[in-house]
């Protein structure tokens, strides 16, 4: 049965991770895998999570299934986190949320619902975008096109080219936007740019589709949700895929959510029934543990305060590392201007070097990053930043 299959190449990031693990160089640096790391290179369990796990463990009395939508309480708390407390669309019953197996599960559920509602729909994604967007959406049978986003020359959003393309996107199609902390480039939309997109979406009738994987990692929980909340105030329908992997540090627990804002509560009822059917046919019920921890944290003022503090510490550490890398590159005599690293948000940025220079960093200096030159800022530390800057300067001079 399986003899006709062809072996596929390894995922480039997973392959980098394996090579990093096998490298014996004591100076090696992993800038590839997209997870938060502390100064010691660990991805710690947050204190708020540890405390919530104890509380939940003590009150848990059953492992029975929780049903296709997951916990209603968790979904309501995540709606408030994303849309803000008492948003008009939420109060009107137009927003419905389900728990999903991570942000990936959310994206795939959304793709399946889109395909069922409009088989001819096209999803427009930014160039560049997170690599897994393409298989998650495309494998559901959706057509995918790209719009210009990042200008590698200026290291900024190429907004005029983006809008020139999106002005031709019409009703029935969707535009996938990164809510904040764009992966892979780190260049985010300004408030004025979000306003222009909201007006265009309303005028042309396309549906905004927001991937919110890093809420709280940019400027703050509310600030990072600016675009989503503006769109929710402007357009009749939108889709939000969210993840608790990064801001709660719940990577392996696969805790995510899919929130859909419908034009009416009647449409919401129909949409939710179709989502339940899709979930039942794919994985039947969502995992519980990660979302239960999120529910416990957001349902407790004390745990929420602890989480806010820890999230702020992660966010400020990333910002300080951005500034430090730019400073060190200048000190070491790097050719070119790397100040864009400080202007960008979240865990990722392109270094802006070519593939040969990337390969030299990997093979000659044991600094692991993907061919696009995307780096995970959280992989930098006070202990390795000098070596990293010296190595980048060395390959720039070759």
Distances (CA, A) of 121 to 191, 289, 361: 28, 34, 42
Q: Return the number of other C-beta atoms located less than 10 Å from residue 364's C-beta.
A: 12
What torsion, rounded to 10 degrees, do the Cα atoms 229, 231, 233, 239 define? -80
Measured CA to CA, the distance from residue 175 to residue 75 in angstroms comes to: 24
Q: What is the mean pLDDT of residues 268-292?
A: 94
Q: Is the dihedral of CA 300, 304, 306, 310 positive or negative?
A: positive
Question: Among 41, 82, 44, which Cα is nearest to 310's?
Answer: 44
Specify whether the CB–CB gap between 158 and 150 falls below 8 A: yes
Identify the pLDDT of residue 17: 83
Whole-number pLDDT of residue 34: 87
DSSP letter string over 133-168? Answer: HHHHHHTTT-EEEEEE-EETTTTEE-HHHHHHHHTT
Q: Does the pLDDT of residue 13 top 80, yes or no?
A: no
What is the C-alpha separation between 83 and 89, in angstroms, rounded?
A: 9
The CATH number for 12-44+303-397, chosen from 3.20.19.10, 1.20.140.10, 3.90.1150.10, 3.30.1320.10, is: 3.90.1150.10
The β-bridge partners of 175 are: 124, 208
The residue extents of the domains of the chain are: 12-44+303-397, 65-299
Q: What is the predicted pLDDT for the residue at 336? A: 87
* pLDDT of amino acid 300: 97
* 10 pLDDT higher than 80: no
Q: What is the pTM of this model?
A: 0.92
**Residue 375 Rama label (left phi>0; alpha psi -120 to 50; beta):** beta
29-67: pLDDT as tens digits: 999 988 999 999 999 999 999 999 999 999 999 999 999
Distance CA 189, CA 196 (A): 10
Which of 3.40.640.10, 3.40.50.300, 3.30.460.10, 3.40.1390.10 is the CATH number of 65-299?
3.40.640.10
pLDDT 10s digits, 233-262:
999 999 999 999 999 999 999 999 999 999
Q: 29 in helix, strand or coil?
A: strand
For residue 254, count CB atoms less than 10 angstroms from its CB and return exposed for 0-12, middle for 13-18, buried for 19 or more. buried
Helix spans in 184-248 (H): 191-204, 221-224, 226-234
344 φ, ψ (degrees, to nearest 5): -85, 170
| H or E element in which residue 124 lies | strand 122-127
Strand 122-127 to 143-148 pairing: parallel
Give the per-residue pLDDT at 33: 84
- CA distance linking residue 290 with residue 247, whole number of Å: 12
Provide the pairing of β-strand 374-376 with 150-151: unpaired
Work out the number of other CB atoms within 10 angstroms of the CB of residue 85. Answer: 8
**What pLDDT is attached to residue 348?**
96
pLDDT in tens, 337-394: 999 999 999 999 999 999 999 999 999 999 999 999 999 999 999 999 999 999 999 9
Q: 86: left (phi > 0), else alpha (psi -120 to 50), else beta?
A: left
Q: Which residues are catalytic?
A: 130, 211, 246
Query: What rounded mean pLDDT belongs to the chain?
Result: 95
First to last CA, the chain: 51
The predicted model gives 311-318 an average pLDDT of: 97
pLDDT band at residue 397 under the 50/70/90 scheme: confident
Q: Catalogue the long-range contacts made by 285-288 (C-beta closer than 8 Å, 24 or more residues apart).
A: 285/65, 285/66, 285/67, 285/68, 286/66, 286/68, 286/70, 286/98, 286/99, 286/100, 286/101, 286/105, 287/101, 287/253, 287/254, 287/255, 288/66, 288/70, 288/71
> Given a cut of 90, is residue 310 above it in pLDDT?
yes
């Amino acid at each position: 049965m399986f003899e006709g299959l062809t072996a596929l190449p390894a995922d480039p990031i997973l392959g980098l991770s394996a090579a990093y693990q096998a490298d014996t160089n004591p100076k090696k640096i992993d800038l590839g895998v997209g997870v938060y790391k502390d100064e010691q290179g660990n991805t710690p369990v947050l204190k708020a999570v540890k405390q919530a796990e104890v509380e939940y463990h003590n009150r848990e009395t059953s492992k029975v299934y929780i049903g296709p939508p997951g916990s209603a309480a968790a979904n309501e708390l995540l709606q408030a986190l994303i849309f803000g407390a008492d948003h008009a669309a939420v109060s009107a019953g137009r927003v419905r949320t389900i728990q999903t197996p991570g942000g990936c599960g959310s994206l795939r559920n959304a793709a399946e619902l889109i395909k069922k509602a409009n088989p001819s729909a096209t999803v427009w994604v930014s160039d560049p975008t997170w690599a897994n967007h393409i298989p998650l959406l495309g494998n559901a049978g959706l057509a995918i096109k790209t719009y210009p986003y990042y200008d590698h020359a200026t290291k900024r959003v190429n907004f005029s080219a983006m809008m020139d393309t999106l002005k031709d996107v019409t009703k029935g199609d969707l535009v996938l936007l990164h809510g904040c902390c764009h992966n892979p480039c780190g260049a985010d939309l300004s408030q004025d740019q979000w306003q222009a997109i909201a007006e265009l979406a309303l005028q042309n009738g396309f549906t905004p589709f927001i991937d919110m994987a890093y809420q709280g990692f940019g400027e703050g929980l509310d600030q990072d949700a600016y675009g989503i909340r503006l769109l929710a105030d402007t357009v009749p329908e939108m889709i939000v895929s969210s993840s608790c992997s990064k801001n709660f540090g719940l990577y392996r627990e696969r805790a995510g959510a899919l929130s859909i804002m419908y034009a009416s509560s009647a449409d919401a009822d129909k949409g939710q029934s179709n989502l339940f059917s899709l979930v039942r046919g794919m994985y039947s019920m969502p995992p519980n543990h990660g979302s239960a921890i999120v529910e416990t944290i957001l349902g407790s003022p004390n745990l929420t305060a602890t989480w806010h503090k820890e999230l702020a510490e992660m966010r400020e550490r990333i910002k300080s590392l951005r500034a430090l890398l730019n400073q060190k590159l200048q000190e070491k005599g790097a050719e070119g201007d790397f100040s864009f690293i400080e202007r960008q948000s979240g865990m990722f940025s392109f270094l802006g070097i070519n593939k040969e220079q990337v390969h030299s960093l990997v093979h000659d200096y044991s600094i692991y990053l993907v061919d696009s030159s995307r780096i995970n800022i959280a992989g930098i530390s006070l202990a390795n930043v000098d070596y990293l800057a010296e190595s980048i300067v060395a390959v720039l001079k070759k």
